[in-house]
Amino acid sequence: MKLIVGLGNPGDQYKNTRHNAGFLFVDELAKHLEPQDSRFRLLKPDTYMNASGEAVAKEAQYYKILPEDIIVVHDDLDLRLGLWKKQKGVGPKLHYGIQSIEERLGTKDFYRIRIGVDNRSAAFRIPGDTYVLQRFTDEELKTLHEIFHVIIPTL
């Protein structure tokens, strides 16, 4: 069994924000799985992003899932909107959700699916921590869902 973790922040105020790209992915993946499909366990931590490791560690321990069978899906400002990467043991330079998971699992040996969310123009580069808390536009959401349908078969 693989644990697919979508990172984001709980609450309506964060719905459809760039920081919740992982939550959006898990929601889309759930639509494509049969209810009896036991290959995947889906998780959207109900903690805030920076404490995601708590929920991931509890879920992995309860279901006896090894780190190499964990796939964490998250937003990434190092990648342009429409791009994505799947990597094991490496990730963005700075992502507090990933950092929390590494600390709680005691390892970096898990997969990350990094979803590009940066769609800022060179002339309008607001700080990243402000930008990721803004909502996607309808056009950006369309691009995001197109990428989700490319990623899902790779799981």
Q: How confident is the model at residue 92 (pLDDT cuts 50, 70, 90)?
A: low
Place of tokens 């069994």: 1
pLDDT tens for 104-153 read 999 999 999 999 999 988 777 889 999 999 999 999 999 999 999 999 99
Of the residues 19, 32, 95, 145, only one is catalytic, namely: 19
Residue 125, Cα to own-chain centre: how many angstroms?
23
Number of Cβ within a 10 Å radius of residue 6: 26
- Give the structural domain span for 19: 2-154
The backbone torsions φ and ψ at residue 122, rounded to the nearest 5 degrees and listed phi first, read -60, -30
The backbone torsions φ and ψ at residue 4, rounded to the nearest 5 degrees and listed phi first, read -100, 115
State how many domains the chain has: 1
Residue 98's identity, in one-letter code, is I
Q: 3-class secondary structure for 67-105? A: HHHEEEEEEEEEEECCCEEEEECCCCCCCHHHHHHHHHH
Q: Which CATH number covers residue 73?
A: 3.40.50.1470
Q: What percentage of the chain has pLDDT greater than the value 90?
A: 86
pLDDT at 34: 87
**pTM for this predicted structure:** 0.94
> Is 19 annotated in the active site?
yes
